[in-house]
Chain A
C-alpha cells in the first residue's frame, strides 16, 4: 500500500480492496455452489425419473392388457383399436423418462412391447371373430409369454442401483463440504487483506500524528527552531509542512521580537538614566532656590518689606510642590521599571501598616480603618503597598473635612475574579469626570482645597495594569468615593 497519497486515495484503495474481497468471496462461492448444483441436477435427471418409471410402466402395461381383455369380452373391434392409444401411452411414459434410462434397454422394451401388442391384437381380433382353432391356444400362450417378457423388461429398465445413487449423493455431499472450505478460505484471505491494508494505513496515520504531536509540542514550548518530520504525502503531511512554514514565520517573528526586546531594554536603560538624572539634577536647583530664599529671609529679613518676605515664602512653598512632583513622577516611573514577583499579599495587613504611617504623620486626624473580610491578593508586595499608600493616602486626604472619617478596605469574591475595594466617606467626586481620574496630572480638586500632584492615581492605575487587572471608581460629590480593582488571574504581570 502506497502511503504517499491523499486520504481520498487511501479511502478509495481500502474500498477497492474490500470490494475485490467481496467479489472473490462471491465468485468462488457461486463457482463451488454450481458444482454442487450440477451434482444435484444429475441426481434429479438421472435417478429421480427412474424411481417413478417402473410403477408407471407397469400400470400402463396392465391397462393395455385390460384393454385387450375388455375388447374381447365385449366383442368390440372398435375398443380393440383403442389399445393402440394405450400402447402409445406406454411409449410416452417411456419417453418421459428420457436419458435416465439406458437407450439399449429402452429399444429392447419398445421392440418387446411391439411384439406383444402385435400378437395380442391378432389374438384378440381372432377371439372377437369367434375363431376357434388349434392354433389359438398356442398363440395365447405365446402372447402371455411375450407379456411376461415386456413386464420383465419393464422391471429391468426401471430398476435402480442403490449403490450408484448413494455414491451420487456422497459425491454431492463431498462437493458441498469442499465448497464450504473454499468459502471459508476465501473469506479469511479477503478479510485478512482488508485488515492488512487498514492496519498499514492506521500505522502511517499514527506515525504522522505522533510526529505532528511532538512537533506541535515543541512549537508550544516556544522552540521555533524545531521542525516536524513530514511522513508520506497525505493531508497530515501537508499539515506538517504548513506547521513548519508557520514555525519558520514564528522563528522570524521570535528573532524580531528578540531584537525589539533588546531595543526596549536599551530604551528602558535610557529611561532609567533619565529618571536618575531627574532625581538628582532637578532637585539640586530646587535646593538652591529654597536654600538661598531661606538664607535671604534669615540674613536680610529685617531689611525687607513684608511683601518681599511673603514672596520669599511663596518661593519656598513652590520648591516644596516641585519636589513633591518630582518624587511622584519618580515613583510612577519606578512602578514601570520595578521587577515583578507575584506572591500572596495580605492587603488588610498592608492597609493597617499604611494607616498607622498616616496616623503618625497626621496625629491630629481621627480616621477609622475598617477591614472587611480576608483581603488576601496575589501580587507584587512592593507595588501593592505603593497602591494602597496612594489609595489610602487619597481617602485620608479627602476625608479631612469629615467628622466620622472612615476608610473601608475589602474584597468581593462573588464574581469570577476577586474585586478589591477602598471606600471612604469623604468629599467624593463628580462621576462626569470619572474618566479623568487615572490620567497623570489630572486633578478634580483645587490645590487650595486638597493638595496633590495628580500622579497618585496614575501610579495606582499603572500598578493595577502591571498585575493584568482593571480599576474603576464610583462616587458622588459629598458622598465619598469607592475605588474597585482586580489584579488579573493567574497570568504573569505585564511590562510597561
Chain B
C-alpha cells in the first residue's frame, strides 16, 4: 500500500505544507506528488510537459483536488480526468474551502468521489486527512486501470 501515490493538487504553499504535516501526523507515508495548478496536474496524469515520458502504468491511488486553481481550474481538471479512458476510473476527492451548494453539485455532476471542506481548525483538518487516508488508501478498493 505504501507504493500508492497520492496526487495533491494545491496552489497554496501554506495549505500544501499543512496537508503534508497532517499526512505525516497521521503516519501516511505514501509518496505525495504535488501539482500547483491544473496544468501541472494534467501533465502528471497524462505524461506530458514536465512529466513527459512518465510511466503511466503508475496512477495515483487518490487525487486530492482543490477547486480554485490557476490556469486550469479544479472542475476542468476533473472533467478531463473523467473524459480520458486512462484516468476516468481514478478516485478524486475535492478538497476545498468552498461549501457553496453549486460547487458541490457541479463536482458530483462531473464525477467526484468525495467532497471535503477544509476546516480552518488545524486539528479538525488532521482528523479529516486521517479519515481520508484511512478510507481511500486502506479500505477502498479501486479497479485496476486499463493499460
Task: Tell whether, in the assembled complex, residue B18 and residue A280 are in contact, meaning their CB atoms are under 8 Å apart.
Answer: no
- Determine, out of B36-44, B55-63, B92-100, the stretch whose residues face the partner at the interface: B92-100
Q: Give Cα distance in the complex from A284 to B99, angstroms.
A: 13
Q: Give Cα distance in the complex from A144 to B94, angstroms.
A: 163
Task: Classify chain A: how many residues form its interface, as a range.
Answer: 20 to 34
Name the prevailing secondary structure of the B interface residues: loop
CB distance from B62 to the nearest CB of A (A): 21
Task: Tell whether, in the assembled complex, residue A291 and residue B21 are in contact, meaning their CB atoms are under 8 Å apart.
Answer: yes
Given A291-B14, A291-B18, is A280 in contact with B120 using a C-beta cutoff of 8 Å? no
Closest to B99 in A: A279
B100 — which chain A residues lie within 8 A by C-beta? 276, 279
Convert A295-324 into 0s and 1s, putting 1 for each residue whose CB lies closer than 8 angstroms to a CB of B. Answer: 100000000000000000000100110110
Tally of contact residues, B, Cβ under 8 A: 20
Closest to A284 in B: B12
Closest to A322 in B: B120
Closest to A299 in B: B21
A292 — which chain B residues lie within 8 A by C-beta? 14, 18
Task: Tell whether, in the assembled complex, residue B122 and residue A290 are in contact, meaning their CB atoms are under 8 Å apart.
Answer: yes
Task: Tell whether, in the assembled complex, residue B15 and residue A288 are in contact, meaning their CB atoms are under 8 Å apart.
Answer: yes
Closest to A319 in B: B120
CB distance from A273 to the nearest CB of B (A): 11
B140 at the interface (CB under 8 A from A): no
Task: Tell whether, in the assembled complex, residue A320 and residue B97 are in contact, meaning their CB atoms are under 8 Å apart.
Answer: no
Q: Give Cα distance in the complex from A322 to B18, angstroms.
A: 19
B122 — which chain A residues lie within 8 A by C-beta? 287, 290-291, 293-295, 316
Q: Give Cα distance in the complex from A319 to B100, angstroms.
A: 20
A322 — which chain B residues lie within 8 A by C-beta? 120
Given A280-B96, A291-B21, is A320 in contact with B121 using a C-beta cutoff of 8 Å? yes
Given A291-B14, A291-B125, A320-B121, is A284 in contact with B21 using a C-beta cutoff of 8 Å? no
Convert B87-114 into 0s and 1s, putting 1 for each residue whose CB lies closer than 8 angstroms to a CB of A. Answer: 0000000001111100000000000000
A350 at the interface (CB under 8 A from B): no
Selected from A280, A287, A293, the residue in CB contact (under 8 A) with B14 is A287
Given A284-B15, A287-B18, is A320 in contact with B99 using a C-beta cutoff of 8 Å? no
A295 — which chain B residues lie within 8 A by C-beta? 18, 21, 122
Given A276-B98, A276-B100, A280-B98, is A287 in contact with B21 using a C-beta cutoff of 8 Å? no
A283 at the interface (CB under 8 A from B): yes
Closest to B103 in A: A276
Task: Tell whether, in the assembled complex, residue A320 and residue B120 are in contact, meaning their CB atoms are under 8 Å apart.
Answer: yes
Task: Tell whether, in the assembled complex, residue B121 and residue A283 are in contact, meaning their CB atoms are under 8 Å apart.
Answer: no
Task: Tell whether, in the assembled complex, residue B98 and residue A287 are in contact, meaning their CB atoms are under 8 Å apart.
Answer: no
Selected from A283, A285, A319, A320, the residue in CB contact (under 8 A) with B118 is A283
CB distance from B36 to the nearest CB of A (A): 14
Q: Give Cα distance in the complex from A295 to B14, angstroms.
A: 12
CB distance from A296 to the nearest CB of B (A): 11
A293 — which chain B residues lie within 8 A by C-beta? 122
Q: Looking at A280, A285, A293, A316, which has the most chain B CB atoms within 10 Å of its CB?
A: A280
B68 at the interface (CB under 8 A from A): yes
Q: Give Cα distance in the complex from A286 to B125, angstroms.
A: 13
- 22 examples of A-B residue contacts, CB within 8 angstroms: A276-B98, A276-B100, A279-B99, A280-B98, A283-B120, A284-B14, A287-B118, A287-B119, A287-B122, A287-B125, A288-B15, A290-B120, A290-B122, A291-B14, A291-B18, A291-B125, A292-B14, A292-B18, A295-B18, A319-B121, A320-B121, A323-B120
